[in-house]
Amino acid sequence: MSGWKWIRRLAVVAVYVVAVTYMAGKWAIRYAYLERGYDAIGGEYFFIPMMAWAAYKLINIFLNVLEDEMYAETGSEKTGGRGTAGLRNNR
């Protein structure tokens, strides 16, 4: 895969991860404020990096499945997608 495709893919993943993390972070901070009734720093700030990690993992799983399906449809002999360990179709 060429260098530009990797850069493009990384940018797409980064945009989605930042968007999901931002929305989840705003929700967590607002919810904690409504529960407490005052501004404070608590567990909601630990929730934000956990949500970023989970979003990154889920988006990569989605892209792996999408690429595997794309290779399966075209009947390409190319082995693997983004994370499959070089599995081949034995005919």
pLDDT of 8-59, one tens digit each?
Answer: 778 888 888 999 999 999 999 999 999 999 988 888 899 999 999 999 898 8
pLDDT of amino acid 88: 53
Q: How far apart are CA 54 and CA 61, in angstroms?
A: 11
Query: Which residues contact residue 58 at a Cβ distance below 8 angstroms, ignoring those fewer than 6 apart?
Result: none
More confident position, 12 or 73: 12
Reported as a single tens digit per residue, the pLDDT across 42-54 is 888 999 999 999 9
For the chain, what are the domain ranges? Answer: 7-71
Angle at 23 between CA 15 and CA 5, to 5 degrees: 10
Q: How far apart are CA 21 and CA 52, in angstroms?
A: 5
Query: Which residues contact residue 23 at a Cβ distance below 8 angstroms, ignoring those fewer than 6 apart?
Result: none
pLDDT of amino acid 65: 85
pTM exceeds 0.75 for this model: no
